[in-house]
Structure 1
Amino acid sequence: MAERISLQESLNKIITQRIKETPEYRKRIAKKSLEKLTRRDLEDFQLFQLRNTLHYAYDKSLFYRELFSKKGIEPSEVQSLADLAKLPLTDPKELAENPLRFVCVPLGDVTRVITFTSSGTTGPQKRIFFSEKDIEVMTDFMGAGMSVVATSDDVVQIMLPKGMVLGQSDLLAQGVKKMGATPVVTGIEPTPEEQIQAIKRHGSTVLFCETLRLNRITVEARKNHDLTKLGVKVLFLTSNYLSDSMRANLQSAWNCEVFTHYGLTEMGLGVAVECSAHNGYHFNEADLLAEIIDPETGEVLPEGEEGELVFTTLTREAMPLIRYRTHDISRLSSKPCTCGITALKRLDKVTRRLESVVRIGDGDEIYPAMFDEALYTIPDIVGYEVSVSKDGGKDKLTFQVEIARTGAAVEELVREVILKVPPVQKNVKTGKMTIPEIQLVTPGSLQKSTRAKKLIKDMRQEA
Structure 2
Amino acid sequence: MTHSIPISPIESWVHKKISAPGARLTREALTRYQMARVQETLDHALERSPFYKKAWRTFAGKKIKAPSDLHDLPFTKPEDIQNAPLGFLTVSQDEIARVVTLNTSGTTAAPKRIFFTEEDLELTVDYFAHAMADFVSAGETVTIFMPGDKPHSIGQLIRDGLNRIGVEGIVAGPVSDPHKACGLIANTGAACLIGIPTQMLHLARTHRKSAAPGQNIRSVILSADYVPRSMAQAIESAWGCRVFDHYGMTEMGYAGGVACRGECGYHFREADLYLEIIDPASGRPVNDGEPGEVVFTTLTRKGMPLIRYRTGDKARFSPHPCPCGTVLRRLDPVLGRTTGGMSLKNGSVLTLPELDEALFSVPGLLNFTAELSGDSENKGETDILRISLLTVPTATATARYTARQQVAHIDTIIRAMDDGALSLAELSTDCRPRGTTGMVKRTFTDNRSPRQQIWKR
What is the TM-score when the length of structure 2 is the normalising length?
0.91
Task: For 1:86-125, list aligned pairs within 5 A.
Answer: 86-118=72-104, 123-125=109-111
Structure 1 position 399 matched with structure 2 position 383:
no
Q: Cα distance 1:263–1:118, how it changes in 2: closer, same or farther (>3 A)?
A: farther
**Match for residue 217 of structure 2?**
232
Structure 1 position 269 matched with structure 2 position 237:
no
**Match for residue 320 of structure 1?**
305
| 1:386 Cα deviation from its structure 2 partner | 0.7
| 1:74 Cα deviation from its structure 2 partner | 2.4
Unaligned runs of 5+ in 2: 452-457
Query: Aligned AA for 2:322?
Result: C
| 1:188 Cα deviation from its structure 2 partner | 2.3
Query: Aligned AA for 1:242?
Result: V
**Match for residue 254 of structure 1?**
239
Residue among 397, 420, 429 paired with 2:409: 420
| 1:239 Cα deviation from its structure 2 partner | 1.9
- Post-superposition CA distance 1:246-302 (Å, at most 9, x none): 222111111011101011100100101012121111111010111111111211222
Which shifted more, 144-153 or 251-260? 144-153
Is the 2:222–2:244 Cα contact (8 Å) retained in structure 1?
yes
- Post-superposition CA distance 1:367-392 (Å, at most 9, x none): 11111111122120010011111112
Residue among 340, 344, 347 paired with 2:328: 344
Is the 1:6–1:147 Cα contact (8 Å) retained in structure 2?
no
**Match for residue 454 of structure 2?**
none
Which shifted more, 358-367 or 46-55? 358-367
Residue among 293, 300, 309 paired with 2:285: 300
Query: Aligned AA for 1:230?
Result: Q
Structure 2 CA distance for aligned equivalents of residues 352 and 436 of structure 1: 25
Which shifted more, 282-291 or 151-160? 151-160
Residue among 136, 139, 145 paired with 2:125: 139
Residue among 67, 73, 78 paired with 2:55: 67
- Post-superposition CA distance 1:133-185 (Å, at most 9, x none): 10111111122221222222421110112210111111111111123321111
Structure 1 position 242 matched with structure 2 position 227:
yes
Is the 1:149–1:236 Cα contact (8 Å) retained in structure 2?
no
Secondary structure of residue in 1 paired with 2:65: coil
Secondary structure of residue in 2 paired with 1:270: coil
Structure 2 CA distance for aligned equivalents of residues 105 and 127 of structure 1: 15
Is the 1:120–1:455 Cα contact (8 Å) retained in structure 2?
no
Q: Cα distance 1:184–1:243, how it changes in 2: closer, same or farther (>3 A)?
A: same
**Match for residue 438 of structure 2?**
447
Structure 1 position 50 matched with structure 2 position 38:
yes
Q: Cα distance 1:252–1:333, how it changes in 2: closer, same or farther (>3 A)?
A: closer
| 1:17 Cα deviation from its structure 2 partner | 4.1
Is the 1:120–1:353 Cα contact (8 Å) retained in structure 2?
no
- For the aligned residue pairs, the C-alpha RMSD in angstroms reads 2.2
**Match for residue 455 of structure 2?**
none
| 1:95 Cα deviation from its structure 2 partner | 0.7
Unaligned runs of 5+ in 1: 20-31
Aligned sequence identity (%): 30
Is the 2:177–2:437 Cα contact (8 Å) retained in structure 1?
no
Richer in helix (by share): 1
Structure 2 CA distance for aligned equivalents of residues 6 and 420 of structure 1: 39
Q: Cα distance 1:179–1:407, how it changes in 2: closer, same or farther (>3 A)?
A: closer
Is the 2:141–2:167 Cα contact (8 Å) retained in structure 1?
yes
Query: Aligned AA for 2:356?
Result: D
- Post-superposition CA distance 1:210-258 (Å, at most 9, x none): 000111112222398175x421110111122222222221111110111
Query: Aligned AA for 1:272?
Result: G
Structure 2 CA distance for aligned equivalents of residues 406 and 101 of structure 1: 52
| 1:356 Cα deviation from its structure 2 partner | 2.2
Structure 2 CA distance for aligned equivalents of residues 407 and 182 of structure 1: 38
| 1:77 Cα deviation from its structure 2 partner | 2.7
The count of aligned residue pairs is: 441
Q: Cα distance 1:407–1:315, how it changes in 2: closer, same or farther (>3 A)?
A: closer
